[in-house]
Chains A and B, each alone.
Chain A
């Protein structure tokens, strides 16, 4: 993407006046960061859908068989409860597998799910490297490193969001805390945590995949069974992250969403531009 500094007195071929009103934009996201960001969506979706199908084959969380339903899996219990309580699902053919049918590739799909999971996993790892390359090339990594001084800012932002429902209901004006950096401290912590979670999800995945040849790695996570638990809850973390992320991106407006596609934004603070000490 090239941009020219305007030179005064330039004439256009149409003969229009040389000086047109120009817009000021700032670069926000490197091309590789943008590409890897969007590719994460189908890859993570594929990993989770196939992952839950794999989970179905031997759930981590099981209880003694329920005397009525015979179910030993809390997800099966949830499916049975849902079908029993939602009117149009009363005659659903397979209540115990409702959750798996709607949140994964389905039950009885282990061989397929494993292959699909590994395809998505290798691409996910490649995607992670692309992301790191983009962070380094664009210098964006500096905006992601959390600092000790962030602690205060994180609490400020947390208090802001916790108070938001009241402020909206009371028709007061919400006052967003002001920060001079690209991301506010809570944002920075969240984005950094997602990157760390991605790395850990890959590490725990390998720990489960190769418990004999990479036994040292499996050991770091407390053994084979614990590595499975880590892997499962890291998936949960991604799910918990995605909802506020999407809501806040939409709430922030089209320019923010567009900046992750085009790489530039028209919104920036004077304080980001001027020289400052950090």
Chain B
């Protein structure tokens, strides 16, 4: 054999040794049987089965304690006669954790995805109750409270449209129910309103109300949401006046609604009649009904 051939052989054996080592790292190790006395095996088995049973019981109790009352009733497990709000500690902790995660993920400069006009999809009327009678629209005014000037300001739609530049954005509205729609919104930036009528310096929240909201039977059911001012100042948070190029119709909250695409649809309050700036978090319609407070997406 020539030196060249020997060298080539050495190289290939080295390569296949390396390959074997690499494959060896990923391949199963030979198992090592252990000798144990059967009585010890029985003891271990008994101990582990008892632990398993205890764990199963604990899981059933803890998990079952968090199930909603009517599920327990359907399973025939409810003690019966218990009325009033359900307080599920673990569930509330999970909701708080999730809201904290949402708050942490929020970024003032991160923009939500925007779309083109060809991607617009139909947007349904998602009024939870009856749609308000459009009679409120001609005399509509927006009331602002909690301002640093100490005054209460009342504006009509012409004042809003005249004094502030309108911005367009085509964004996705995501409903808590799971559906979403892409729509073209136009309106003034909430941030511009905050600059024109500054809130008191300690304010961290906006309490936004719609007094014209109705329940399913057509009776007054005022709607209200809490919005943190940080989100309100985001460049994509609009006080929308137009949908798909036309003034808002009554089904979509004429003449002014909130458009906050980095929160769930339920925060996008329609037919706004009043905004009050507060220091502490104000109440929220759906948060009272068991949904999240922050609703960040």
Contacts and interface: CB of A to CB of B under 8 A. Distances in A.
Given A111-B290, A111-B291, A122-B97, 4 more contacts: A39-B59, A115-B91, A264-B34, A273-B33
Q: Which 6 A-B pairs have the closest CB atoms?
A: A111-B290, A119-B94, A278-B27, A58-B178, A58-B177, A57-B177
Interface in A141-195: 142-143, 145, 181-182
13 contacts: A21-B38, A22-B36, A22-B37, A60-B178, A111-B291, A116-B91, A118-B97, A145-B26, A213-B262, A261-B52, A268-B31, A273-B31, A273-B33
B30 A272 contact: yes
B33 A268 contact: yes
Contacts of B167: none
Interface residues of B, number: 67
B146 interface: no
Contacts of B63: 42, 46
B26 A142 contact: yes
Contacts of A142: 26-29
Contacts of B74: 101, 106
Contact of B102 (A3, A115, A210, A277): A210
Interface in A38-55: 38-39, 42, 46, 54-55
Interface centre among B31, B59, B93, B105 (most CB of A within 10 A): B31
A31 to B, nearest CB: 10
Given A25-B36, A112-B290, A213-B106, A118 B95 contact: yes
Given A26-B34, A38-B55, A143 B178 contact: no
B180 A225 contact: yes
A67 to B, nearest CB: 21
A134 to B, nearest CB: 16
A5 B35 contact: yes
B148 to A, nearest CB: 31
Interface in A204-226: 208-215, 219, 224-225
Contacts of A224: 172, 174, 180
B179 A212 contact: no
A132 interface: no
Task: Classify the interface of chain B: helix, strand, loop or mixed.
Answer: mixed
B66 A276 contact: no
A202 interface: no
A125 B186 CA distance: 40
A278 B178 contact: no
Contacts of A122: 94, 97-98
A211 B176 contact: no
Contacts of A264: 34, 44
Given A23-B37, A118-B98, A258-B45, A273 B30 contact: yes
B28 to A, nearest CB: 5
Contacts of B45: 258, 262
Contacts of B290: 111-112, 115
B118 to A, nearest CB: 15
Contacts of A212: 112-113, 174, 261-262, 296-297
B105 A213 contact: yes
Interface string B119-138: 00000000000000000000
A214 B36 contact: no
Interface string B12-44: 000000001001101111111111111011001
B172 A273 contact: no
B37 to A, nearest CB: 6
Interface in B141-176: 172, 174-176
Contacts of B94: 115, 118-119, 122
B176 A215 contact: no
B31 A272 contact: yes
Contacts of A219: 113
Interface centre among A1, A212, A278 (most CB of B within 10 A): A212
A115 B110 contact: no
Contact of A210 (B32, B95, B105): B105
A27 interface: yes
B27 A106 contact: no
Contacts of B286: 111
A114 B292 CA distance: 9
A202 to B, nearest CB: 13
Contact of A209 (B28, B29, B172, B297): B297
B54 interface: no
B90 interface: yes
Interface in A75-131: 101, 105-106, 109-112, 114-116, 118-119, 122
Contacts of B78: none
A70 interface: no
A30 interface: no
B33 A119 contact: no
A22 B113 CA distance: 67
A3 B34 CA distance: 8
